[in-house]
Amino acid sequence: MMIKKKIELAVEEAVQASGLPNNDFLLEHPTDLRFGDYALNVAMILAKKHNREPKELASEIIQHLYRQKENLEWLEKAEVAGPGFINLTLTRNFLTSNIKEATDQNNSSNFSQEENKNQKIIVEYTDPNPFKLFHIGHLMSNTIGEAVARILESTGAEIKRACYQGDVGLHVAKAIAYSLETKIDWQEKSALENAYAGGSKKYEENDDFKNKVIVVNKKIYDRSDAEINALYDRGRQLSLDYFESIYKRLGTKFDYYFFESETGQFGRETVLSRPDVFVKSDQAIVYQGEQAGLHTRVFINREGLPTYEAKELGLAKIKYDQYPYDRSIIVTGNEIVEYFKVLLSAMKKVFPALADKTKHLPHGMLRLPTGKMSSRTGEVITAESLLIAVKERLVEKISEKKIEASGEVLDQIAVGAVKYSILRQDIGKDLIFDLDKSIAFEGNSGPYLQYTYARAKAVLAKAVNNFPEETPRETGEGGKLLERWLYRFSEVVERSAKEYAPHYLCTYLHELAGTFNAFYATEKIIGSEDETWKLTLTQATATIMKNGLNLLGIEAPERM
C-alpha cells in the first residue's frame, strides 16, 4: 500500500478517536521540507464545523496519533504549525524501506492505481491529415498523447493507441484538384509541401477552382473518376508512409488507424437514422445545440456529405466495436473545444453510454511569436524542420563543449528536448514557441534530466563494492535529502494519471535531478565510508530518472 494511503487511514482513525465525525481533508507535501514530509489541514476544516480552536484540535489529533505510534512505523514526528496544520515527518527507516523497490527496474507496476487497474482505455492522438504536412501541432498532440498513454499504462490500465486520419474531406479535394492542374503526381514528398498549400490558396481566390474542388470532393467520396482515384491512392500512401517514419522516430506505435473515409459513411447513416435528434435546416442537417446552451452545428452539409462532427460521432461507435473501451480519450488542439461540446451533447442522445466514457483532452497551440501557426495559410513549420533546427543547434553546442555524441544519441537528445518543452507545462495552455529559446537546453529541460541520468550511470559503473544495500547507513545531509524525494515518484505518477497531466511528472523529475546533482556536488560517493549506501541512492535516482523519462516518451541514453 502506498504511504499516502497509510497516513490517511491513520489520520481518519485519530480524527474519529477525538470524537469528531470523519471528514474530507488534504494530505499534501508542504512547499518547504523544513515543515516535514506531509502536511495535514484536517484540524482547520473540522475546527470551523465544530466551533473549536484549530490548534487545540490539532494537538488533540496528534495525541491520538502518538498513542498509536507503535503501529505507525512511518511516524517520526507530528507537530502543530502555523494556523493549525499538522506537520508529519516520516521515519528514516520508512523512507529507506522503499528505496530497494525503487531500484528494481523490473518492478514497474508498483504504482498501480485502483481505478485504472484493468481498465480498457483507448487514446487517440496525433491525427495528421494525409495530403497535408505533419506540422508542429501534430508533434505536440503526439507528444502529449504518447505521454498520457504511457502514464496510464503504468498505473495498470490496458491501453490502445489510435490515430485518426482525415483521408477524405475538402482539404483532400483542394490538394487533388490542384495536383490535377499542375501535374503533381504524388510520387515524392515535395508533393505534400506544394499541393495543399497551392490548392488552399487558389480555393480562396478563384471561384472556378472552388467549384472544381467541390466536384472533385464528391468524386473522391464516390470513387467515380479513374484519374482522380489513381492520384488519390498514390498521394494517400505517400502520406501514410511519411507519417509512419515520423511515428517511428518519435517512439509511437499505434494499435489502430481510423480513417475519415470509413467513419464518414457510418456517421452519415447514424445522423440520418435519428431525425429526432438531427433536423434539416437550410438544406443541411444540423444538431441544435442551443437546447444545451451551445450552438448549432452542421453534421451533414448541403452536398449530402458528412462533416467532421458526423464523422467523429461515427468514430466513437467504430472504436467501441473494435475495442470495447471503458474510457476513450481524444487528444486534440483546443480550437475545437466548442465543437466537441456540441458533439458530446449530440452523442449523449445517440450513443449515451459511449458519450459518458468519452473524455476530450484539449491541448494548447504551439504558437509562433508572429501569431497562430496554421497549415491553412501555407506557412507551416513541419515537425521535421523543427527537429532539424534543434539538432543543428545541438551540434554547435556540443562542439563548443568538445563533447562527442553519436547520431542516435544526438537524435534522442533533440527529440527529448522538444518533447520535454511540450510536456513540462500544463497541456491546456498555449506554448509560446520561440525557436531560440526552445533550443536553450539548460535548466528545466529534457537534456538536463538525460544528463543527470548518464552522470549517475557513470558513477555506478565505477563502483567496485556491491550495492544496492537494504539497510541504510549513516550518511550526509545531501543523501538524506535525496531519501525524502525518492519515495514520492509513485505518488506523482498516480496524480499525473488521474489528471492526465504529465507536467507533474516533469516537475518532480526536475526537482529530483536538482537534489541529486546537489548531493553529487557536495559529497564524494566513490571511496567514501558510506559508499555503498550512496551508490544505492544513486542507483535509485538513475532508475527513477529512466523510468520517469520513459513515461514521458523520452529516451534516456546511457552516455551522452
Partner RNA sequence: GCCCUCGUGGUGAAAUGGAUAUCACAACAGUCUUCGGAACUGUUGUUGGGGGUUCGAGUCCCUCCGAGGGCACCA
User: Closer to RNA at the Cβ: 397 or 480?
Assistant: 397
In the complex, the smallest distance separating the C-beta of residue 186 from RNA, rounded to whole angstroms, is: 19
Binding mask 450-489 for RNA (x = CB under 7 A): -x--xx-xxx--x---------------------------
From 61-69, 381-389, 467-475, 497-505, span contacting RNA (CB under 7 A): 497-505
Of 260, 180, 168, 258, which is closest to residue 220 (Cα–Cα)? Answer: 168
Name the 3-class secondary structure at 156. coil
Q: Which of 11, 37, 65, 85 binds RNA (CB under 7 A)?
A: 85
In the complex, the smallest distance separating the C-beta of residue 250 from RNA, rounded to whole angstroms, is: 20
d(CA 245, CA 233): 19
Q: Which of 443, 465, 466, 470 binds RNA (CB under 7 A)?
A: 443
d(CA 1, CA 110): 9
From 135-143, 464-472, 504-512, 548-556, span contacting RNA (CB under 7 A): 504-512
In the complex, the smallest distance separating the C-beta of residue 416 from RNA, rounded to whole angstroms, is: 10
Residue 257 binding RNA, by CB under 7 A: no
Helix axis angle for 207-222 and 190-205, nearest 10°, is 130
User: Closer to RNA at the Cβ: 241 or 303?
Assistant: 303
The answer to whether the CB of 412 falls within 8 A of the CB of 555 is yes
Cell of 144: 502529449
* Rounded (10°) CA dihedral 198, 196, 343, 140: -110
Name the 3-class secondary structure at 125. coil
Q: Which of 114, 222, 276, 442 binds RNA (CB under 7 A)?
A: 442
Binding mask 5-44 for RNA (x = CB under 7 A): ---------------------x-xxxx---xx--x-x--x
In the complex, the smallest distance separating the C-beta of residue 120 from RNA, rounded to whole angstroms, is: 25
In the complex, the smallest distance separating the C-beta of residue 298 from RNA, rounded to whole angstroms, is: 3
Q: Kindly give, in sequence order, each residue whose CB lies less than 8 Å from that of residue 150, ignoring residues fewer than 6 positions away.
A: 550, 551, 552, 553
User: Closer to RNA at the Cβ: 153 or 494?
Assistant: 494
Scanning residues 174 to 203, which ones bind RNA (CB under 7 A)? none
Query: With contacts defined by CB under 7 A, how many residues of the chain interact with RNA?
Result: 102
Q: Which of 112, 517, 532, 550 binds RNA (CB under 7 A)?
A: 517
What are the residues facing 332 on neighbouring strands?
362
Residue 442, φ and ψ in degrees, nearest 5: -90, 170
Scanning residues 378 to 397, which ones bind RNA (CB under 7 A)? 394, 397
User: Closer to RNA at the Cβ: 241 or 558?
Assistant: 558
**What is the secondary structure of 109-120 as a DSSP string?**
TTT--GGGTT-E
Segment 302-307 long-range contacts (CB within 8 Å, at least 24 positions apart): 303/214, 303/217, 303/218, 304/268, 305/217, 305/218, 305/221, 305/264, 305/268, 306/264, 306/265, 306/267, 306/268, 306/271
Distance of CA 190 to the CA centre of its chain: 31
Binding mask 120-149 for RNA (x = CB under 7 A): ---------x--------------------
Scanning residues 541 to 560, which ones bind RNA (CB under 7 A)? 558-560
Residue 518 binding RNA, by CB under 7 A: yes
In the complex, the smallest distance separating the C-beta of residue 241 from RNA, rounded to whole angstroms, is: 20
